Chains A and B, each alone.
Chain A
Amino acid sequence: GAVVSQHPSWVICKSGTSVKIECRSLDFQATTMFWYRQFPKQSLMLMATSNEGSKATYEQGVEKDKFLINHASLTLSTLTVTSAHPEDSSFYICSARGLAGRDTQYFGPGTRLTVL
């Protein structure tokens, strides 16, 4: 099956710093990538959808200036958490979908962010 990687798998940072998380589709071209946030014992919350070469579409309540998303190529999307604070600590998961509109979304292994 299709493989999606995320890097780093975990990161600890100080409050006020910025953190970049990479999401790559390793063996397919992802026209659309999704970024989710997951709190403990909860389901996934969609943060934003990004199409290659376009600006990301953010879900209601998600600060686009805080969570910067770049989808510069068909295999790479990045999420940058700017000026991170402890409340941004969470599990971030990316997902990628191929060229066909209803194709399956494949998920990355997630990134655990802890802001001290």
Chain B
Amino acid sequence: AQSVTQPDIHITVSEGASLELRCNYSYGATPYLFWYVQSPGQGLQLLLKYFSGDTLVQGIKGFEAEFKRSQSSFNLRKPSVHWSDAAEYFCAVFSGSARQLTFGSGTQLTVLP
């Protein structure tokens, strides 16, 4: 069965600093991978997705993620964090057999002024 691990429950960075949120997946076939962001009391907004092709994908709000098959990882990065990026971030993998998303446990991002 597929699974997603986000090792960091909570990350704190200063505004303007770079950011990397980790995501590791377990899936037997070619994974379809997603990063979503959730602000308090809100639904999930899609940041970016990887289906195939270029392993470095660009998303909205200046985010990017790199798919590394050898490491089973799909880490999210941003070169310079803004205070408005403070939120909960979820990594997810789509299972073709189950035809549904499996989410990681999420990483809470705090941005210091």
Which A residues lie at the B interface, using CB under 8 A?
Answer: 1, 4, 6, 32, 34, 41-44, 46, 49, 91, 93, 95, 101-102, 104-110, 112
A44 CA to B91 CA, complexed, in Å: 11
B32 touches A93 (CB 8 A): no
B99 touches A43 (CB 8 A): no
A110 touches B106 (CB 8 A): no
A43 touches B100 (CB 8 A): no
List 3 tightest A-B contacts by C-beta distance, closest first: A107-B44, A109-B43, A107-B43
A6 CA to B43 CA, complexed, in Å: 10
Residue B96 at the A interface, CB < 8 A? yes
Tell me the interface secondary structure of chain A in the complex.
strand
Which B residues lie at the A interface, using CB under 8 A?
Answer: 32, 34, 36, 41-46, 49, 51, 90, 94, 96, 99-101, 103-106, 108
Instruction: List 4 additional contacts besides A102-B32, A104-B34, A110-B43; criterion CB under 8 Å.
Output: A42-B106, A44-B103, A93-B43, A108-B43
A43 touches B104 (CB 8 A): yes
A91 surroundings in chain B (CB, below 8 A): 41
